[in-house]
Amino acid sequence: MLNKKFFIENVKTLFYALLIAIFIRSIIIQPFYIPSSSMEPNLLVGDRLFVTKYSYGYSKHSFPFSPPIFKGRLFATNPKRGDVIVFKTPADNRTDYIKRLIGLPGDNIQFINNELYINNNIIFKDLKSKDDQIFCGKRLIDVFTYEEQLDNGKKYKSTYLKNSSYGDTDIFIVPEDHYFFLGDNRDCSKDSRFLSSVGYVHKDNLVGKAQFIFFSSDRSIGSIFSFWKWNRSIRMNRFFKTIN
Protein backbone atom coordinates (compact mmCIF):
# COMPACT_ATOMS: atom_id res chain seq x y z
CA MET A 1 0.00 0.00 0.00
CA LEU A 2 2.86 2.32 0.93
CA ASN A 3 4.65 1.60 -2.36
CA LYS A 4 1.48 2.35 -4.35
CA LYS A 5 1.03 5.69 -2.56
CA PHE A 6 4.72 6.53 -3.08
CA PHE A 7 4.38 5.74 -6.80
CA ILE A 8 1.24 7.89 -7.19
CA GLU A 9 2.85 10.85 -5.40
CA ASN A 10 5.92 10.66 -7.65
CA VAL A 11 3.78 10.51 -10.80
CA LYS A 12 1.84 13.56 -9.61
CA THR A 13 5.08 15.43 -8.90
CA LEU A 14 6.43 14.63 -12.35
CA PHE A 15 3.13 15.66 -13.94
CA TYR A 16 3.12 19.03 -12.18
CA ALA A 17 6.78 19.56 -13.03
CA LEU A 18 5.98 18.85 -16.69
CA LEU A 19 3.09 21.34 -16.64
CA ILE A 20 5.34 24.02 -15.12
CA ALA A 21 8.07 23.33 -17.68
CA ILE A 22 5.58 23.59 -20.57
CA PHE A 23 4.19 26.83 -19.13
CA ILE A 24 7.65 28.40 -18.80
CA ARG A 25 8.72 27.20 -22.25
CA SER A 26 5.54 28.45 -23.91
CA ILE A 27 4.90 31.71 -22.08
CA ILE A 28 8.18 33.01 -20.71
CA ILE A 29 11.48 31.72 -22.06
CA GLN A 30 12.82 28.86 -24.17
CA PRO A 31 16.36 27.61 -24.82
CA PHE A 32 17.57 27.14 -28.40
CA TYR A 33 20.69 25.60 -29.91
CA ILE A 34 22.53 27.12 -32.90
CA PRO A 35 23.16 24.31 -35.43
CA SER A 36 24.43 26.32 -38.42
CA SER A 37 26.87 29.09 -39.30
CA SER A 38 24.34 31.39 -40.98
CA MET A 39 24.53 33.99 -38.18
CA GLU A 40 28.30 34.12 -37.80
CA PRO A 41 30.18 36.03 -36.51
CA ASN A 42 27.48 36.96 -33.98
CA LEU A 43 26.16 33.46 -33.28
CA LEU A 44 28.38 30.40 -33.53
CA VAL A 45 27.54 26.74 -34.02
CA GLY A 46 27.28 25.35 -30.50
CA ASP A 47 25.86 28.49 -28.90
CA ARG A 48 22.91 27.85 -26.63
CA LEU A 49 20.69 30.83 -26.05
CA PHE A 50 17.50 31.95 -24.39
CA VAL A 51 14.60 33.35 -26.39
CA THR A 52 11.84 35.33 -24.70
CA LYS A 53 8.44 34.11 -25.86
CA TYR A 54 6.51 37.15 -24.64
CA SER A 55 8.45 39.74 -26.69
CA TYR A 56 6.02 39.82 -29.63
CA GLY A 57 2.96 38.23 -28.06
CA TYR A 58 1.75 34.69 -28.59
CA SER A 59 0.58 32.59 -31.52
CA LYS A 60 0.01 28.86 -31.91
CA HIS A 61 3.75 28.57 -32.61
CA SER A 62 4.49 29.67 -29.06
CA PHE A 63 3.43 26.23 -27.89
CA PRO A 64 4.99 22.79 -28.44
CA PHE A 65 3.84 21.23 -31.74
CA SER A 66 1.99 24.45 -32.74
CA PRO A 67 -1.52 23.33 -31.74
CA PRO A 68 -4.29 25.26 -33.60
CA ILE A 69 -5.87 26.49 -30.39
CA PHE A 70 -6.42 30.06 -31.65
CA LYS A 71 -5.73 32.23 -34.69
CA GLY A 72 -3.52 35.30 -34.96
CA ARG A 73 -1.43 36.70 -32.11
CA LEU A 74 -2.45 37.53 -28.57
CA PHE A 75 -0.89 40.57 -26.85
CA ALA A 76 0.94 41.31 -30.10
CA THR A 77 3.88 43.73 -30.10
CA ASN A 78 5.67 44.73 -33.29
CA PRO A 79 9.33 43.67 -33.59
CA LYS A 80 12.02 46.23 -34.34
CA ARG A 81 14.28 46.28 -37.34
CA GLY A 82 17.54 44.58 -36.41
CA ASP A 83 16.07 42.20 -33.81
CA VAL A 84 17.44 38.66 -33.86
CA ILE A 85 14.35 36.46 -33.97
CA VAL A 86 13.45 32.78 -33.93
CA PHE A 87 10.61 31.95 -36.31
CA LYS A 88 8.94 28.97 -37.94
CA THR A 89 9.82 28.67 -41.61
CA PRO A 90 6.84 29.25 -43.92
CA ALA A 91 7.83 26.16 -45.93
CA ASP A 92 6.64 23.74 -43.25
CA ASN A 93 5.53 25.90 -40.27
CA ARG A 94 7.56 23.54 -38.11
CA THR A 95 11.31 24.16 -38.47
CA ASP A 96 12.87 26.84 -36.25
CA TYR A 97 15.15 29.39 -37.95
CA ILE A 98 17.02 32.27 -36.35
CA LYS A 99 17.84 35.36 -38.42
CA ARG A 100 18.01 39.14 -38.20
CA LEU A 101 14.90 41.17 -39.03
CA ILE A 102 15.73 43.54 -41.89
CA GLY A 103 12.46 44.31 -43.69
CA LEU A 104 9.18 45.46 -42.15
CA PRO A 105 5.76 45.28 -43.85
CA GLY A 106 5.71 47.53 -46.91
CA ASP A 107 9.51 47.87 -47.15
CA ASN A 108 11.44 47.22 -50.33
CA ILE A 109 14.77 45.42 -49.95
CA GLN A 110 17.50 45.07 -52.56
CA PHE A 111 21.18 44.29 -52.92
CA ILE A 112 23.01 46.42 -55.49
CA ASN A 113 26.71 45.70 -56.05
CA ASN A 114 26.82 43.87 -52.71
CA GLU A 115 25.32 46.85 -50.87
CA LEU A 116 22.11 46.47 -48.88
CA TYR A 117 19.36 48.98 -49.65
CA ILE A 118 16.19 49.44 -47.59
CA ASN A 119 13.53 51.65 -49.16
CA ASN A 120 16.12 52.90 -51.69
CA ASN A 121 18.49 54.01 -48.92
CA ILE A 122 21.91 52.36 -48.66
CA ILE A 123 22.69 50.78 -45.30
CA PHE A 124 25.92 52.18 -43.93
CA LYS A 125 28.63 49.60 -43.23
CA ASP A 126 32.04 50.23 -41.72
CA LEU A 127 34.83 47.82 -42.70
CA LYS A 128 36.27 46.21 -39.55
CA SER A 129 38.51 43.49 -40.97
CA LYS A 130 39.79 42.24 -44.33
CA ASP A 131 41.36 39.06 -42.97
CA ASP A 132 38.66 37.12 -41.14
CA GLN A 133 37.74 33.49 -41.67
CA ILE A 134 34.38 32.09 -40.63
CA PHE A 135 32.54 28.84 -41.21
CA CYS A 136 30.11 28.11 -44.00
CA GLY A 137 28.91 24.66 -43.09
CA LYS A 138 32.14 22.77 -42.45
CA ARG A 139 34.24 24.98 -44.75
CA LEU A 140 36.25 27.98 -43.66
CA ILE A 141 35.70 30.96 -45.94
CA ASP A 142 37.58 34.23 -46.30
CA VAL A 143 35.37 37.23 -45.60
CA PHE A 144 35.28 40.96 -45.08
CA THR A 145 33.74 41.85 -41.72
CA TYR A 146 31.65 45.01 -41.44
CA GLU A 147 29.66 46.82 -38.82
CA GLU A 148 26.29 47.68 -40.34
CA GLN A 149 24.02 50.37 -38.96
CA LEU A 150 20.29 50.43 -39.66
CA ASP A 151 18.10 53.51 -39.84
CA ASN A 152 17.04 53.10 -36.19
CA GLY A 153 20.65 53.13 -35.00
CA LYS A 154 20.93 49.36 -34.52
CA LYS A 155 24.51 48.14 -35.10
CA TYR A 156 25.77 44.61 -35.64
CA LYS A 157 28.52 42.73 -37.47
CA SER A 158 27.96 41.17 -40.88
CA THR A 159 30.28 39.32 -43.24
CA TYR A 160 30.59 39.12 -47.03
CA LEU A 161 32.70 36.74 -49.10
CA LYS A 162 35.93 38.27 -50.38
CA ASN A 163 35.95 36.87 -53.89
CA SER A 164 32.32 36.50 -54.86
CA SER A 165 29.30 37.77 -53.05
CA TYR A 166 25.56 37.85 -53.50
CA GLY A 167 25.83 40.81 -55.86
CA ASP A 168 22.66 42.29 -57.33
CA THR A 169 19.13 41.13 -56.63
CA ASP A 170 15.61 41.92 -57.68
CA ILE A 171 13.60 44.17 -55.39
CA PHE A 172 11.89 42.33 -52.54
CA ILE A 173 8.65 44.05 -51.51
CA VAL A 174 7.57 42.89 -48.06
CA PRO A 175 3.83 42.07 -47.96
CA GLU A 176 1.45 43.27 -45.28
CA ASP A 177 1.78 41.34 -41.98
CA HIS A 178 5.08 39.81 -43.14
CA TYR A 179 8.78 40.30 -42.40
CA PHE A 180 12.04 39.94 -44.30
CA PHE A 181 15.01 38.24 -42.61
CA LEU A 182 18.72 37.96 -43.42
CA GLY A 183 21.54 35.94 -41.91
CA ASP A 184 24.54 37.97 -40.76
CA ASN A 185 26.78 35.54 -42.66
CA ARG A 186 25.42 36.98 -45.87
CA ASP A 187 26.88 34.50 -48.38
CA CYS A 188 26.10 31.44 -46.29
CA SER A 189 22.51 31.87 -45.18
CA LYS A 190 19.22 30.50 -46.41
CA ASP A 191 16.89 33.38 -45.60
CA SER A 192 14.14 35.57 -47.05
CA ARG A 193 16.09 36.04 -50.28
CA PHE A 194 15.18 32.44 -51.11
CA LEU A 195 11.46 32.71 -51.73
CA SER A 196 10.86 29.01 -52.37
CA SER A 197 12.27 27.85 -49.03
CA VAL A 198 12.00 30.77 -46.60
CA GLY A 199 10.77 33.96 -48.26
CA TYR A 200 8.58 36.43 -46.41
CA VAL A 201 7.67 35.37 -42.87
CA HIS A 202 4.16 35.96 -41.55
CA LYS A 203 3.86 37.69 -38.18
CA ASP A 204 2.15 34.62 -36.71
CA ASN A 205 5.32 32.58 -37.37
CA LEU A 206 7.41 34.63 -34.96
CA VAL A 207 8.42 32.54 -31.96
CA GLY A 208 10.45 34.96 -29.87
CA LYS A 209 13.38 37.33 -29.50
CA ALA A 210 16.91 36.02 -28.92
CA GLN A 211 18.26 37.65 -25.76
CA PHE A 212 21.52 36.13 -24.53
CA ILE A 213 23.82 33.12 -24.80
CA PHE A 214 23.92 31.02 -21.64
CA PHE A 215 26.35 28.30 -22.82
CA SER A 216 28.61 27.64 -25.78
CA SER A 217 30.84 24.77 -26.85
CA ASP A 218 32.80 23.88 -29.97
CA ARG A 219 31.63 20.40 -30.96
CA SER A 220 34.40 20.10 -33.56
CA ILE A 221 36.79 19.72 -30.61
CA GLY A 222 34.64 17.37 -28.55
CA SER A 223 31.17 16.71 -27.19
CA ILE A 224 30.00 18.10 -23.89
CA PHE A 225 30.62 14.65 -22.38
CA SER A 226 34.33 14.78 -23.28
CA PHE A 227 35.23 16.50 -20.02
CA TRP A 228 38.97 16.12 -20.64
CA LYS A 229 38.57 18.54 -23.59
CA TRP A 230 36.50 21.15 -21.78
CA ASN A 231 39.44 23.54 -21.52
CA ARG A 232 39.42 23.81 -25.32
CA SER A 233 35.81 23.05 -26.31
CA ILE A 234 33.85 25.22 -23.88
CA ARG A 235 33.77 28.89 -24.87
CA MET A 236 33.68 30.57 -21.46
CA ASN A 237 33.95 34.02 -23.02
CA ARG A 238 30.51 33.59 -24.62
CA PHE A 239 28.63 32.71 -21.42
CA PHE A 240 25.82 35.23 -20.68
CA LYS A 241 26.72 37.30 -23.73
CA THR A 242 23.91 39.60 -24.83
CA ILE A 243 22.72 39.09 -28.42
CA ASN A 244 22.88 42.36 -30.29
| Rounded-to-integer distance, Cα 195 and Cα 106, Å | 17
Q: Are 186 and 111 in contact (CB under 8 A)?
A: no
For residues 193, 198, 204, 208, the Cα torsion angle rounded to the nearest 10 degrees is -80
231: DSSP letter: H
Q: Choosing from 36, 38, 189, 217, which is the catalytic residue?
A: 38
Residue type for 70, please? F
Known catalytic residue at 99: yes
Q: Choosing from 53, 60, 99, 209, which is the catalytic residue?
A: 99
Q: Which residues contact 235 (CB under 8 A, 6 or more apart)?
A: 44, 46, 216, 217, 218
Known catalytic residue at 37: no
| Rounded-to-integer distance, Cα 173 and Cα 106, Å | 6
Active site residues: 38, 99
